[in-house]
């Protein structure tokens, strides 16, 4: 691990992604979906990214993969920047994505073999038809699909099997890094566990690195080595998975974790919730200073005036909050 | 007498591809002031059960005439639309998963709330308006006077669900059916809504039927639990019995396939196979094709729903076999 920590696979430095939103005729306003986010992902690790809808977690995933062009900031992959067209094309062989919705992310007019084979075609990763076919069958085998499924269309499969097809497609180019954007949230509980175990096994077998985006905190904890919490485009806390569950420091992480419904009646009855008042503000009118201050029980004038720095408070535990001494 | 008594409910859909038996002879009852959770995967028949009670099913659906749904002693199966109109909204209300599609986007929140009140009570327009405001205050909507004049799209998801709850409770029903009420919401908002439902349930002493696939929500909310699979009840009992003493292989599988709080990176134990095709139901126990403990009899015959103890019933051959063996051993 120590060697890995020296050289992260993905380095994100002060990443910003603003979308221009029309607010009237000829008038636009920037929506700060991601606003100054920095973190590293080490080789072979799973970084969980959690937060509520609209907090920018999906945008982070897509911007890292250059599906959105970053407004500012830097992304280094394996120590090198990804900027030019050539670099991006090469980068796409090493970093891929699994999407949330297994229904809309597969082309209904293509057979399973063609869906999985498309990345191979794009990057010309085979020398003969035979080789292409063999690779497709190998990929299907990885994700537990039968070879007889190759000629079928996506609509003939259940949600869990479709997600397997999507995963096989993301593995086709033999990537180092996969962004998993809510890959199990559309699936039934019993199927979720199958897919989560498959992510685990594939990581072990192929040495993959994951950015695992999800809102189910128990699932994220299960699969992640470290977890990052986002709120309104900013990262508020980042730490080892167990550390963040046992000792969350940011008031938002504390209430988020206490809001998780625990599948155990006795614990659920005893659980004292830290209830948050109100809703998440619109990212178009984000509060000044700390984004969480409008719902935070500890907020002071300083929180409105200054953006808290995202700093390391103990080894590997980063928090952005002015009032850590009060929360303790 | 139980507030709601469902006996041998069969609901089927006649579609082009054939007849789908969405609910296959289920029985349960619900006492006043209790929260009953119905859990199951998509297609297990949990929503159809709820819609059968309200009789708001699609036109292709039929509730078999030998089914019985008794509300406060009154038979609802075959009762006709006139009777159902006095039941819906007054005695039984429902809130749906997606608060955006279940509110009308072309009317203000106030208009929709007043409509529900005028339809079901004897209040005049002015009184209905006052009641609408009162209901919004009850569900902790901030700036309620302003909200009455707003349209659904101007509200956040959590706020819309509060409006739906206000509408459902406007006539103080005996039973509130909540069909995945928090699935579309974020966790912190979900916690707010669940807390609200719990406090209102106590205040009105109403019964809630909570339909969900989230075992966490069940553990937090429910007194009693029904576990459904492919239109049948696998197991039913108090929440503690179902969580700490599960007997059916499917329930055990569900409990093993979710990450727990004290997760020490143990491997999840998923249920193998894929969900059942309701058009090609197997003979025997519907869960048998995915069950690791399946025996020969499981594929031949449906197990009967038997008593485990005072608070707990299950329909599993494995349990029946173990119980018989134990009985045999006791006799010797």
pLDDT tens figures, B202-217: 999 999 999 999 999 9
Give contacts of B256 with chain A, Cβ < 8 Å.
193
Best to test chain B binding among A222, A277, A294 (most B CBs inside 10 Å)? A222
pLDDT digits 0-9 by tens, A181-208 = 999 988 888 889 999 999 999 999 999 9
CB A322 within 8 A of CB A306: yes
Asked whether the beta carbons of residue A265 and residue B239 sit closer than 8 angstroms, the reply is yes
* A190 CB within 8 Å of a chain B CB: yes
CB contact under 8 A, B261 and A196: no
| Arithmetic mean of pLDDT, B111-124 | 91
Its pTM stands at 0.88
The nearest CA of chain A is from the CA of B306 a distance in Å of 24
Number of residues that make up chain A: 328
Numbered residues of chain B with Cβ closer than 8 Å to any chain A Cβ: 41-42, 142, 156, 158-159, 186-192, 194-195, 213-220, 239-240, 243, 253-261, 263, 265, 267-272, 274-275
Whole-number percent of chain A with pLDDT over 70:
98
Please give the pLDDT value at position B224: 96
Q: At a CB cut-off of 8 Å and minimum separation 6, what does B132 contact?
A: B110, B113, B114, B117, B148, B166, B170
Mean per-residue pLDDT for B101-111?
Answer: 92
3-state secondary structure of B249: helix
Are the beta carbons of B188 and A268 separated by less than 8 Å? Answer: no
Q: How far is A16 from chain B (nearest CA, A)?
A: 24
Give the closest of B42, B220, B257 to A261, CB-based. Answer: B220
pLDDT at A1 over 60: no
C-alpha A10: how far from its chain's center? 13
Interval A148-157 mean pLDDT:
91
Picking from B191, B220, B258, the nearest residue to A218 by CB comes out as: B258
Q: Are A48 and A25 in contact (CB under 8 A)?
A: no
CATH no. of A8-94+176-186+209-326: 3.40.50.300
The token pair that represents A61 in the structure block: 């995933």
3-state class (DSSP) for residue B144: helix
Residues 6+ apart with CB under 8 A from A89: none
| Residues contacting A96, CB < 8 A, separation 6+ | A65, A119, A169, A170, A171, A173, A175, A177, A178, A179
Provide the pLDDT confidence category of residue A222 given band limits of 50, 70 and 90: very high
CB contacts < 8 A, A to B, total: 126
| Among B32, B6, B87, B25, CA closest to B54 | B87
A-interface mutation test, from B261, B280, B291, most A Cβ less than 10 A away: B261
In terms of DSSP H, where are the helices of chain B? 46-54, 81-87, 109-120, 125-138, 144-148, 157-169, 187-204, 215-221, 239-244, 249-256, 296-300, 317-331
What gap in Å lies between CA A36 and CA A236, rounded to an integer? 11
Least confident of A66-75, A97-106, A273-282, B200-209: A273-282
Quick one: pLDDT band at residue B332, thresholds 50, 70, 90?
low
Do the chains contact at B240 and A266, CB–CB below 8 Å? yes
Nearest to A273 among B191, B258, B268 (CB): B191
Q: What is the ipTM of this complex?
A: 0.83
How much is the pLDDT for A113? Answer: 95
Q: Which of B187, B216, B263 sits opposite A256 (nearest CB)?
A: B187
């Amino acid at each position: 691990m120590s060697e890995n920590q020296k050289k992260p696979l993905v380095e994100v430095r002060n990443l910003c992604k603003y979308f221009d939103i029309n607010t009237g005729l000829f008038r636009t306003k920037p929506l700060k979906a991601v606003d100054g986010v920095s973190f590293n992902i080490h080789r072979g690790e799973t970084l969980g990214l959690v937060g509520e809808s609209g907090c920018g977690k999906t945008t982070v995933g897509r911007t890292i993969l250059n599906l959105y062009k970053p407004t500012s900031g830097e992304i280094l992959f394996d120590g090198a920047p990804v900027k030019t067209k050539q670099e991006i094309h090469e980068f796409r062989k090493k970093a891929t994505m699994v999407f949330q919705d297994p229904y809309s992310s597969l082309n209904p007019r293509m057979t399973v073999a063609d869906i999985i084979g498309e990345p191979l075609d794009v990057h010309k990763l085979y020398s003969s038809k035979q080789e292409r076919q063999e690779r497709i069958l190998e990929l299907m085998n990885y994700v537990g699909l039968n070879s007889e499924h190759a000629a079928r269309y996506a609509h003939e499969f259940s949600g869990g099997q479709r997600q397997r097809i999507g995963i096989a497609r993301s593995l086709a180019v033999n990537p180092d890094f996969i962004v998993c954007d809510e890959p199990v949230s559309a699936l039934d509980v019993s199927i979720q566990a199958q897919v989560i175990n498959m992510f685990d096994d594939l990581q072990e077998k192929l040495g993959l690195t994951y950015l695992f985006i999800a809102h189910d905190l128990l699932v994220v904890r299960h699969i992640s080595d470290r977890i990052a919490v986002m709120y309104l485009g900013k990262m508020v806390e980042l730490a080892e998975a167990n550390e963040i569950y046992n000792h969350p420091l940011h008031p938002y992480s504390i209430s988020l974790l206490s809001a998780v419904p625990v599948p155990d009646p006795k614990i659920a009855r005893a659980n004292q919730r830290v209830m948050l008042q109100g809703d998440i503000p619109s990212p178009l009118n984000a509060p000044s200073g700390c984004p969480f201050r409008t719902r935070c029980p500890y907020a002071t004038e300083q929180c409105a005036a200054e953006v808290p720095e995202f700093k390391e408070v103990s080894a590997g535990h980063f928090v952005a909050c002015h009032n850590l001494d009060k929360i303790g | 007498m139980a507030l709601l008594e469902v006996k041998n409910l069969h609901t089927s859909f006649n579609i082009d591809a054939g007849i789908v038996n969405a609910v296959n002879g289920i029985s349960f009852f619900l006492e006043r002031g209790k929260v009953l959770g119905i859990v199951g995967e998509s297609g297990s028949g949990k929503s159809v059960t709820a819609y059968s009670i309200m009789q708001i099913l699609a036109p292709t659906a039929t509730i078999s005439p030998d089914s019985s749904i008794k509300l406060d002693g009154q038979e609802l199966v075959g009762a006709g639309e006139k009777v159902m109109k006095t039941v819906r909204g007054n005695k039984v209300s429902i809130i749906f998963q997606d608060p955006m599609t279940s509110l009308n986007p072309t009317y203000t929140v106030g208009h929709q709330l007043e409509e529900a009140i005028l339809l079901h009570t004897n209040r005049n327009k002015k009184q209905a308006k006052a009641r609408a405001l009162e209901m919004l205050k009850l569900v902790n909507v901030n700036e309620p006077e302003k909200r009455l004049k707003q349209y659904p799209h101007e509200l956040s998801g959590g706020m819309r669900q509060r409006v739906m709850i206000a509408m459902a409770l406007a006539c103080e029903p005996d039973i509130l059916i909540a069909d995945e009420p928090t699935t579309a919401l974020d966790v912190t908002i979900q916690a707010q809504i669940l807390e609200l439902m719990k406090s209102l349930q106590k205040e009105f002493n109403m019964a809630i039927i909570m339909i969900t696939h989230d075992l966490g929500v069940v553990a937090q909310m429910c007194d009693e639990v029904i576990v459904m699979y492919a239109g049948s009840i696998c197991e039913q009992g108090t929440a503690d019995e179902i969580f700490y003493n599960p007997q059916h292989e499917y329930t055990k599988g569900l409990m093993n396939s979710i990450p727990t709080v004290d997760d020490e990176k143990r491997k999840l134990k998923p249920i193998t196979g894929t969900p059942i095709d309701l058009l090609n139901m197997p003979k025997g126990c519907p869960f048998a094709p995915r069950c690791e403990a399946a025996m020969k009899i499981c594929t031949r015959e449906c197990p009967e729903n038997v008593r485990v103890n005072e608070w707990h019933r299950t329909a599993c051959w494995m349990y029946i076999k173990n119980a018989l063996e134990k009985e045999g051993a006791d006799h010797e």
